[in-house]
Structure 1
Amino acid sequence: MSGRAAPFYCPYCGDEDLVPYEKDGTWYCRACLRAFAVKFLGIGAKETS
């Protein structure tokens, strides 16, 4: 497991019953039976030209 923060709730159903799914940073929700990954895209607003 990496030193990154874990999600607090499922993005699909909002339940908090999450467990690590694989060693690649994905999570599994026991309530809605979905697996998902959280990806950080960046900080700040996108620069427009």
Structure 2
Amino acid sequence: MARRRNQDITPDEFRELMREINKRMIIAGLIVITTGLLIIGALALWGGPHG
């Protein structure tokens, strides 16, 4: 479990923390989207489900 700090986080620290979290979430999302597109492209290239 995370240790609690003695003093409260300041609004500036909170803003910076949220900015960092948003940045990491955007990067993770782009990685997921890119991986999905690569998989779809590979399936289309190698035949995939053709009837």
Q: Normalized against structure 1, the TM-score is what?
A: 0.24
Larger radius of gyration: 2
Structure with higher strand content? 1
Looking at both structures, which has the greater relative contact order when contacts are Cα pairs under 8 Å and sequence separation is at least 6?
A: 1
Q: Normalized against structure 2, the TM-score is what?
A: 0.24
